Chains A and B, each alone.
Chain A
Amino acid sequence: MIELDGVAKTFDGTIHALQDVTFSVPTGSICALLGHNGAGKTTTIKILSTLLRPTSGRAIVAGYDVIRHPAQVRASIGTTGQLAALDWQLTGRENLVLFGRLRGMRRKPARLRADALIHQFDMSHAADRRVGTYSVGMRRRIDIAATLVVPPKVLFLDEPTTGLDPRSRRDLWELVSSLSAQGVTVLLTTQYLEEADVLSDSIVVINEGRVIASGTAEDLKRRVRFSYCTVSPANPADLGRIFDVVADLEGAQVDREANTVSVLASDGNGVATLSEVFRRVDQLGVELADISLRKPSLDEAFLQLTGSVTA
């Protein structure tokens, strides 16, 4: 498991990269660290993987304090980032053998383990080519395989799907889910809300070095205390007329691309707003394709939580 308690990191005495970061990830679960660029995601991962020392606070990884027992922490973790941390002059297979031996495996077992991983990651066709000749997706696969040569207790993935095509992304999600099913604790950072939503058991939203929200995706959506009432006409030409009759309601707006008019419904007034909108549009007599009350997407929740948009 991973535990952070009041972790702060200050650079040069003036730049507060992290302030009072507190959250925990139970064993075998997946936590997504969500935030904009520069929010402090990578700094958090660096502290947890012993690359940076926290200025204050306590961080425990797999039962070991990152400051007092860094060697034990290193023996328990695997890390992978957006850039493949491999030796590009070596082949994929040579890299895997190298990382096995760096984790204390003897030559022969390291080779056998590399063979197994190459097979598991479907890389047989390229295993004996230099990593420098690989595509981004192939490099990422070998990179992740390299962290699994000796299965870690805790896995850190820093923006693991950045730059991947949709298929490779799906494959990676599947892999991460299966690792967590095997009891590996996973902390991943991402800017993709979809990824956090689909993949993780819990989400920590971080902004300007502080945790501003945490919980499940549902918790976060619920914390955003409004929903949307959206109307789609059967004929897009009617959008303007619909908008006119609801224009005086809170947050009314047209989205021509999605063919919707939406209105904000504050907490507890969802049904009332829906029936008011329906009454007005019904009087207008246009044919509707759809009218519904929907919770904000995680995207909308995230933007509101980080203060990028005020509802």
Chain B
Amino acid sequence: MTAVTALTERMVLGAMRDDLPFAILAPAANFVVFNFALRNVIDTGRMSYPQYILPIIIVQAMLLGALTTVDRAARDQGSDFGVRLRTLPISAVVPLTARMLYCLFRGALALLAAIAVGYLFGFRMVGGFFYAAAFAVLVLTLTLALSLGADATGAGIAGAGIAGAEIGSSGAASQLLLVPQLLLVMLSTGMAPADAFPDWLHPFVRYQPVSQVTETMRGLATGHVVVSNVATSLAWCLGLLVVFGALAVRTQRRTQ
């Protein structure tokens, strides 16, 4: 336990001098920009635009955070520091656990910052404590799932680098992953209701995971959820958690 705590503290300490302030403030800033740019353009019916858009801002922050986790894991795994960790009397999953705790910590701070700014502009959690807690748990589950996937990608790249493939390709990988995550965010009902998209895109826009999850989040914020939608969101989050978790643990195997 000491080792996990020490490594998590190390990540927080390092990140505070690096990108942590940015990771916390970015979603809040995004929210302000989107709110001013789009609130009179997109028709969200009876729901106010800040109320509508905050969930997608939060999901996007978690997706972008995961991209930095790709680099972080690659750097940690491939560096001499990472190699030395493998000669220490600690379990092989300790560094991964510490990285994930850090991701959850960063996610929680970003979430709090986004909600705080949201409140200034009229976003409200009106469902009571239970719904608000469920909102946070859903976001953090998604964060953990995405972070595990990112970690597996980064560590996998570093592992391939050790085996002789091109080193330093994690930067390229995270750039490449920017495209699908941008498509998932832009072509979702998190930005605008499905009616705003052309007909042929409806099936994708409605059922893709980002749409489902943001819809659940909006429901949890207002205290009205549709069971089938909650089930779909949970299935996505837990499914990704299991698959990415298994992959991430697999890449941590120590000796060849």
Binds B, one of A32-40, A75-83, A252-260: A75-83
- Picked from A53, A86, A101, the residue with its CB within 8 Å of the CB of B81 is A86
Complex Cα gap A184–B250 (Å) = 36
Question: By the criterion CB–CB under 8 Å, are A90 and B80 in contact?
Answer: no
Q: Is the CB of A83 within 8 A of B80?
A: yes
CA distance A79 to B84 in the complex (A): 7
Interface with A: B12-20, B31-39, B206-214, B215-223, which one? B12-20
Q: Please report the total number of B residues contacting A with Cβ < 8 Å.
A: 25
* Residues of chain B lying within 8 A (CB to CB) of residue A50: 86-87, 254-255
Contact A85 B83 (CB under 8 A): yes
Choose among A52, A71, A77, A87 the residue with the greatest number of B CB atoms under 10 Å from its CB.
Answer: A87
**How many angstroms between the C-alpha atoms of A99 and B90 in the bound complex?**
11
Which of B2-10, B151-159, B168-176 touches A? B2-10
Q: Is B256 an interface residue (CB 8 A)?
A: yes
Q: Does B198 contact A (CB under 8 A)?
A: no
Cβ A89 vs Cβ B87 within 8 A: no
Determine chain A's interface SS by DSSP, over half rule.
loop
Q: Which of A70, A71, A94, A103 contacts B13 (CB 8 A)?
A: A94
- Point out the residues of chain B lying under 8 angstroms from A83, CB to CB: 80
Residues of B within 8 A of A99 (CB): 88
- Give every chain A residue within 8 A of B83 (Cβ-Cβ): 51, 85
> Is A102 an interface residue, CB under 8 A from the partner?
yes
Distance of A130 Cα from B254 Cα, bound (Å): 29
CB distance from B89 to the nearest CB of A (A): 4
Cβ of B80: which chain A residues have Cβ within 8 Å of it?
81, 83-86
Given known pairs A84-B80, A102-B85, A102-B88, the reply for A89 and B255 (CB within 8 Å) is: no
Pick the contact of A89: B17, B86, B89 (CB < 8 A). B17
Given A53-B255, A79-B87, A102-B85, A87:B10 Cβ within 8 A: yes
Total residues of chain A contacting the partner, CB 8 A: 29
Interface readout for A90-117 with B: 1 if CB under 8 Å, 0 if not? 1000100011011111100000000000
Partner of A90, one of B2, B14, B255, B256: B14
A273 at the interface (CB under 8 A from B): no
Contact present for B81 and A52 (CB under 8 Å): no
Within the complex, what minimum Cβ distance (angstroms) separates A293 from chain B? 47
Q: A87-B10, A90-B13 are in contact. Are A71 and B81 (CB under 8 A)?
A: no
Q: Bound state CA distance, A101 and B94, in angstroms?
A: 13
Q: Within residues 73 to 130 of chain B, which ones have a CB less than 8 A from any CB in chain A?
A: 79-81, 83-90
**Which residues 35-68 in A have Cβ within 8 Å of B in the complex?**
49-53
When distances are taken between beta carbons in the complex, the residues of chain A under 8 Å from B5 are 101
CB distance from B10 to the nearest CB of A (A): 5
- CB of A74 closer than 8 Å to a CB of B: yes
Which B residues lie within 8 Å of A74 (CB)?
87-89
Alpha-carbon distance between A87 and B81 when the two chains are bound, in angstroms = 6
Cα–Cα, bound, A53→B86 (Å): 13
B45 → chain A closest CB, angstroms: 47
**Inside 8 A of B90's CB, which chain A residues have their CB?**
102
> Min CB distance, A12 to chain B, in Å?
9
Inside 8 A of A71's CB, which chain B residues have their CB?
89
A89 to B72, CA, bound (A): 13
CB pair B86–A51 under 8 Å, yes or no, is: yes
**What's the minimum C-beta distance from B80 to chain A, rounded to whole angstroms?**
4
The docked-state distance in angstroms from the alpha carbon of A102 to that of B6 is: 7
Assess whether B7 is in contact with A102, with CB atoms less than 8 Å apart.
Answer: yes
- Distance, CA A89 to CA B79, complexed state (A): 13
Please give me the residue from chain B that is nearest to A94 by CB atom.
Answer: B13
CB distance from A102 to the nearest CB of B (A): 5
Interchain CB contact under 8 A, A51 and B255: yes
Known: A50-B255, A53-B256. Contact between A90 and B10, CB under 8 A?
A: yes
**How many Å lie between the Cα of A85 and that of B5 in the bound state?**
20
Per the bound structure, the CA–CA distance linking A84 and B79 in Å amounts to 10
Q: Are B10 and A98 in contact (CB under 8 A)?
A: yes
B86 contact set on A, CB distance < 8 A: 50-51
**Closest-CB distance, B95 to chain A (whole angstroms):** 10
One digit per residue, 1 when the CB lies within 8 angstroms of any chain A CB and 0 when it does not, for chain B 50-89 equals: 0000000000000000000000000000011101111111
Q: A85 near B84 (CB under 8 angstroms)?
A: yes
A52 vs B86: C-alpha distance when bound (angstroms): 11
How far is the CB of B165 from the nearest CB of chain A, in Å?
Answer: 14
In the complex the two chains form, is A101's CB within 8 Å of B256's CB?
Answer: no
Q: Which residue of A lies closest to B18 (CB)?
A: A89
Cα–Cα distance between A49 and B83 once the two chains are bound (Å): 10
Known contacts A85-B84, A87-B10, A98-B10; can you find 18 more A-B pairs with CB under 8 A? A50-B255, A51-B83, A71-B89, A75-B89, A77-B87, A79-B84, A84-B80, A85-B81, A85-B83, A87-B81, A89-B14, A90-B10, A98-B9, A102-B2, A102-B3, A102-B85, A104-B2, A104-B89
Q: Which 6 A-B pairs have the closest CB atoms?
A: A89-B14, A85-B80, A101-B6, A85-B84, A75-B89, A74-B89
Q: 5 A–B contact pairs at CB < 8 A?
A: A52-B255, A71-B89, A87-B14, A94-B10, A102-B90
